[in-house]
Amino acid sequence: MFNKKKENKVVMETLPAYDVSGTITPEAFEHVGVDYDNMEVIARPSTSFWKDAFSRIRRNKVAVVCITILVILILGAIIVPFISPFTISEQNTAYANQAPFFVDPESGNVHIFGTDALGRDVFVRLWYGARISLTVAFAVAAIDCIVGVIYGGISGYFGGAVDNVMMRILEVISGIPYLIIVILLMTVIDRGLGTIILAYSLTGWTGMARLVRGQVVALKNQEFVIAAKSMGAKPSRIISRHLVPNILSIIIINITLDIPAIIFTEAFLSMLGLGIKPPESSWGIMAYDGITVFQTYPTQLIFPAVAICLTMLSFNLLGDQLRDVFDPKLRR
């Protein structure tokens, strides 16, 4: 095949590629030369992994919507309890169980979501409950991440007898139900925010440790790790500077998917009376109070239930989208 220019158009013509003996003849080829105009054209601009990931997140409508909802929840949980004219413990039984947008005749303030059985403002209690639930979720997720990454990284990197002993210890810890730990802690520690965080953190890190251990085992024999060892790098530096950054995307995805489970656990414990101590507010406490009057005043259960579902759904969908964004097989 060779290119023949005719009337400024490239025309492809077929020449015999073989002679009688079956060998390729020089006439089958034509020297085209060097295309100096296009030899340095950049077909695709260079970009880093994280820059490409954030760019894909911005183009993902589902991820943008979920992030927007979560940002609104976080900002509302921080700001609303401070600017609201009501407090979480302010009671006025004369105006108990009022419908949404009830106007207090004494102060003229509006109860946007109405009042509960004790006359407390449901709107401010809902946002304060968001503060408690998100605080527990982020604190437990941070502790699980730190402990799980350190434990799993050491176990996966050293392997052998160290790995066997650490994995057997992890299996024993993961076999203990967290509800038993919570009940035991309640006998020696007063119920509250710190007790929930401590109880869930004692067993919640095991899943992260297993995930990190598996990823480290798969990466520790790669060339960049061998090169770091040959240059005299210590195991702590190899784990923290070479192995963990390569599995950071997987860690972020796992944290995003763990937070909804933590939020649900906090609400479940609060409904059982093992969570936040009254008069503090929590979505679980509000849901429990709403169940008792659901047939008469359904909004007292609907509002905290919608908040729990919306938060869990946003984190789950965001985790699914991050899994697609950080997958190198889907990069273009």
Total count of domains within the chain: 1
CA distance 212 to 217: 9
Tell whether 59 is covered by a domain. no
Split at pLDDT 50, 70, 90, the class of 154 is: very high
Split at pLDDT 50, 70, 90, the class of 1 is: very low
> Residue 170's closest CA among 136, 139, 194, 205?
205
pTM above 0.95, yes or no: no
Q: Has residue 216 got a pLDDT over 80?
A: yes
Tell whether 229 is covered by a domain. yes
Q: Has residue 287 got a pLDDT over 70?
A: yes
pLDDT for 16 equals 52
Q: Has residue 5 got a pLDDT over 60?
A: no
Tell whether 249 is covered by a domain. yes
Q: Has residue 281 got a pLDDT over 90?
A: no
Residues 6+ positions from 53 with CB-CB distance below 8 Å? 249, 325, 326
Split at pLDDT 50, 70, 90, the class of 127 is: very high
Residues of the chain with pLDDT > 90, as a percent, come to 21
pLDDT for 250 equals 87
Q: Over the chain, what is the mean pLDDT?
A: 82
Which residue type sits at 51? K
Domain span at residue 123 reads 68-330
CATH number at residue 111: 1.10.3720.10
Tell whether 112 is covered by a domain. yes
Tell whether 192 is covered by a domain. yes
pLDDT for 143 equals 92
Please compute the mean of the pLDDT values over residues 145-157 and round it to a whole number.
92
CA distance 35 to 33: 7
Split at pLDDT 50, 70, 90, the class of 8 is: very low
Q: How far is CA 156 from the centre of its chain?
A: 23
pLDDT for 21 equals 61
Split at pLDDT 50, 70, 90, the class of 330 is: low
Split at pLDDT 50, 70, 90, the class of 2 is: very low
Please compute the mean of the pLDDT values over residues 308-332 and round it to a whole number.
80
Q: Has residue 306 got a pLDDT over 60?
A: yes
Q: Has residue 22 got a pLDDT over 70?
A: no
pLDDT for 79 equals 92
Contact assessment for residue 258 and residue 207, using Cβ atoms and an 8 Å cutoff: yes
Tell whether 91 is covered by a domain. yes
Q: Has residue 75 got a pLDDT over 70?
A: yes
Q: pLDDT per residue over 265-280, tens digit each?
A: 888 887 777 777 777 8
Q: Has residue 245 got a pLDDT over 60?
A: yes
Please compute the mean of the pLDDT values over residues 304-320 and round it to a whole number.
90
Tell whether 274 is covered by a domain. yes
Q: Which residues of 206-235 are buried (b: 16+ CB within 10 A; e: fewer)?
A: bbbbbbbbebbeebbeeeebeebeeeeeee
Tell whether 270 is covered by a domain. yes
Evaluate the omega torsion of the peptide bond into residue 279 and state whether it is cis, within 30 degrees of 0.
yes
